Amino acid sequence: MHGIDVYRTYLAFKQHFSNPDFDFFKYDGKVKAKESTYHERSDFYFFETLARKLSDKEVLEYMLASFVISETPQKVWIGDIRRSGKEHWLTWQRTHSSLQYIFTQEMKAVRETGTPFNDLFNISEGHPPILKSFIKGVISLETLLVLDMVLGFLPLWDKKLRDPLWEQISFKIKKYKPFLSIKSSNYRDTLREIFS
């Protein structure tokens, strides 16, 4: 990748996590940006440095991490990434290299609450307990996302939970999901072991 490609990748992530109609993969992670405009940017050297130091895959992870870790990904701007991008990337890498372990530990913590498994997803009284666990920081976004990949509760929650907080979380999950590749059966087995 060249610096301009890193810049376009950043713009594509910005669009992906802000615009409901934009799909990072449909547009191959790129958006149009004039090279002349790019060269006039004050942060031009930041993109050039990333292009020199990181592989294409690392650039994608670096950018993705900043948007995923942010509480409001649609508000992430390049200053945030310059300041905290490396730290976010390293955190994201640690999470993904031990995702199965983190999922297991977080679900064990949820089990300790004593709430029966099916009740964790009950939306009859508003936010279900598992969502409250995410909001309180007991489980990570990745664990919530994996649970949806295994159980598929998102469409029902989207239909029944009509509040701005859930809509923001749901949007982030949907935008993050295509980047997460897991073997669902492994996580399903983990859930059976913990809650049986």
Collapsing DSSP states into helix, strand and coil, what is residue 168? Answer: helix
Tens digit of each residue's pLDDT (9 = 90 or more) over 107-118: 999 999 999 999
My answer on whether 42 and 119 are in the same domain is no
Q: Cα 82 from chain centroid?
A: 19
CATH number of the domain within which 87 lies: 1.10.8.60
Query: Token digits for 89?
Result: 């990337």
Looking at the fold, whether 108 and 180 belong to one and the same domain comes out as yes
Q: Which two tokens stand for residue 196?
A: 């049986």
pLDDT at 178: 95
pTM of the model: 0.91
DSSP state of 35: H
Task: Read off φ and ψ for residue 174, nearest 5 degrees.
Answer: -60, -40
Domain count, the chain: 2
Spatial contact of 175 and 88, defined as CB atoms under 8 Å apart: no
In this structure, the answer to whether residues 87 and 134 fall within a common structural domain is: no
pLDDT score recorded for residue 1: 87
Check which CATH number belongs to the domain holding 114 and give it: 1.10.220.50
Residues of the chain where predicted confidence (pLDDT) is lower than 50:
none
Domain with 136, as residue range(s), is 99-195
Question: Are 133 and 74 within one domain?
Answer: no
